[in-house]
Structure 1
Amino acid sequence: MSGPPPARPFLGGGVGLRVASSLVMAPLALGAVWAGGIIFAAALALCAVLLADEWGRVAEGARGVQDGLRVAGLLLAILLGFGGDWTPAWLCLAATALLGVIAGLLRGGSPAAAFKALAGTAYVGVPVLALLALRLEGVPGLGLMLWLLLVVWAADSAAFAAGRTFGGPKLAPRISPAKTRSGLYGAVAGAALTGALAALAIGLDGSVLAWALGGALTGFGAQVGDLMESAIKRHFGVKDMGSLIPGHGGLFDRLDGLMFVAPPFALALAALGEWQI
């Protein structure tokens, strides 16, 4: 009679490489956020170009007219946003999406191909402009950006740790067979705890309970964003969106959770009026 299966090494299966990549990327991201200004805007612009390239290769099959339009439009929108011209920046993004659709149709593409151009522009552009708007809020923006990054990273790490430790029922086996419900619970709990502690450490206004709740919602949203990207990859029949980051895949594969939660986070803060929770 065979014994129980051997325990899976906690850092096996390429996990060590993922950790090493994260240890390199995290200081770079934090440094750009801390510097703010032109450095942060330039970092966002670089990310936007890389994300647009990944989308074009995976969703559209090759770099073409839509890809060029998307890159140019994203860079112009970031430049306008950095200059404080937010209405023109969002209009530029919308016009870029529309031009991508028109270009796709004029080149004999199907409506589905045109939709890919629209989706790619929105998927990249909306989170990028939301993050730019958030960080340009000076001192409050710095604290809020740091909080958001810490919570999303905590959710990702806690999801991995809980899923690896406890396993159990799959969360969405048809979309992402590796994800478990215990991982989701761990993500929400870890994000809630980090949200409260980070708010205290950074000195953000508002109650600790409110920031813990915000952390829980952000952690849940980050996991939804991860699942959404997994669904996109499954639809296009790829394992990763790219190969830029060892152990992670492409930039999309590393930023999917942050990209999903950044727009609602910025909208919620704007709705509250004074960047307070």
Structure 2
Amino acid sequence: MFKQRLLTALVLAPLALGAVFYLPPIGFAIFLGCAFLIAAWEWASFCGWQTLPSRLSFTVGSAFWYLLCYQALPQQLAWPVQTNLLAESALWIGVGWWLLAVLLVLSFSKTKALWQQHKLFKAIMGWLTLVPSFAALLLLRNVNYEQSTFTGAWLICMLLGLVWAADIGGYVIGKPFGKHKLLPEVSPGKTLEGMIGGMVFVMALLTGVAAYLQWPEGVALWYLAAFILTLLSVFGDLSESMFKRVAGLKDSGSIFPGHGGIMDRIDSLTATAPLFALFVAMLGGF
């Protein structure tokens, strides 16, 4: 299983980074849209929709929201730029949902009865999970594109690095040393040691980047942001586990050998992308 996971990751990581760095904005939007459409298809099973028409309906509805984001959000963001109300609203909606999602995860045994039988509620939760993160990644990629095609790509790379470091650290430390279950009623495999391991890996990565950049001004804020985002990435994973548990699923899909579905790969990314983009906005101004 570990070898399968490793080989799949060695294929997926270069593919994702290649799309981020070398596709033009329209190409990146199409690539991102395809990935998020597959994620929507998988989310339909979280809602309890198993038939082709029902799953297709949710996926098409998601495509509408993605297309609306692409059409409505700024196509170019200078660095720094003027405040954009629509962009910030989309991101704050995502952050607001994740604050609620954290509460739902922490109170899972008490609150699941309020929503687990309601397919429409779970569909709305899916759109609140997917659409703001889709918007956040589009916005990040378009930052300063006219001046430098790689500015936004490096921002997304930083976000991916944080998410991957937290995931790798959680696996490497949690697998052999995990003793204290984090939230066993939500995800039996998640441990406190794994969460701490993920945090250590993220901080080590950030320290390496900061040292390479000769400790730029404001680096203390980077550590605070990284701490918050790493915690949120854990809850992104736990939130998806919560929905899979209610739906009676082990994985969101089987598209990636050893990794499950796309939602299994981007759960932490969907949680962190809106807040990361807001942190960028606070520093850069969109």
* TM-score, length of structure 2 as denominator length: 0.76
1:176 pairs with 2:187: yes
- Work out the CA distance in 1 between the residues paired with 2:34 and 2:88: 17
Judge conservation of contact 1:167–1:180 (CA < 8 Å) in 2: yes
Name the CA shift for 1:15/1:254 in 2 (closer, same or farther; >3 Å). Answer: same
Structure 2 runs not aligned, ≥5 long:
77-83, 94-115, 145-149
Judge conservation of contact 1:196–1:211 (CA < 8 Å) in 2: no
Q: Which range is displaced more, 142-151 or 32-41?
A: 32-41
Deviation of 1:18 (Å): 0.9
1:29 pairs with 2:40: no
Q: What residue number does 2:236 align with? A: 225
Q: What residue number does 1:77 align with? A: 69
Q: Which range is displaced more, 195-204 or 249-258?
A: 195-204
- Work out the CA distance in 1 between the residues paired with 2:12 and 2:213: 21
Moved over 6 A (4+): 88-91
Judge conservation of contact 2:251–2:260 (CA < 8 Å) in 1: yes
Q: What residue number does 1:150 align with? A: 161
> How big is each residue's C-alpha offset from its partner over 1:193-224, in whole Å with a ceiling of 9 and x where there is no partner?
21232345478954443323332322221111
Judge conservation of contact 1:168–1:182 (CA < 8 Å) in 2: yes
Q: 1:1-277 alignment to 2 at 5 Å?
A: 14-36=1-23, 37-61=25-49, 62=51, 63-81=55-73, 83=75, 87=86, 112-138=118-144, 139-201=150-212, 206-274=217-285
Name the CA shift for 1:75/1:48 in 2 (closer, same or farther; >3 Å). Answer: farther
Judge conservation of contact 1:193–1:215 (CA < 8 Å) in 2: no
**Paired AA for residue 113 in structure 1:** K
Deviation of 1:259 (Å): 0.9
> How big is each residue's C-alpha offset from its partner over 1:171-212, in whole Å with a ceiling of 9 and x where there is no partner?
111111111111010111111121232345478954443323
Number of matched pairs = 245
* TM-score, length of structure 1 as denominator length: 0.79
Name the CA shift for 1:146/1:202 in 2 (closer, same or farther; >3 Å). Answer: farther
**Paired AA for residue 162 in structure 1:** I
Compare CA radii of gyration and give the structure with the larger one.
Answer: 1
Structure 1 vs Structure 2: percent identity of aligned residues? 34
Judge conservation of contact 1:127–1:259 (CA < 8 Å) in 2: yes
Larger RCO (CA under 8 A, 6+ residues apart)? 2
- SS of the aligned residue for 2:190 comes to strand
Name the CA shift for 1:132/1:200 in 2 (closer, same or farther; >3 Å). Answer: farther
Q: What residue number does 2:98 align with? A: none
Deviation of 1:146 (Å): 1.2
- Work out the CA distance in 2 between the residues paired with 1:158 and 1:227: 16
- Work out the CA distance in 2 between the residues paired with 1:203 and 1:26: 27
- Work out the CA distance in 1 between the residues paired with 2:33 and 2:203: 30
- Work out the CA distance in 1 between the residues paired with 2:273 and 2:88: 17
Structure 1 runs not aligned, ≥5 long:
1-13, 95-109
- SS of the aligned residue for 2:118 comes to helix
- SS of the aligned residue for 1:177 comes to strand
Q: What residue number does 1:10 align with? A: none
Judge conservation of contact 1:127–1:262 (CA < 8 Å) in 2: yes
- Work out the CA distance in 1 between the residues paired with 2:130 and 2:235: 16
Deviation of 1:53 (Å): 0.9
Name the CA shift for 1:59/1:207 in 2 (closer, same or farther; >3 Å). Answer: same
- Work out the CA distance in 2 between the residues paired with 1:53 and 1:202: 41
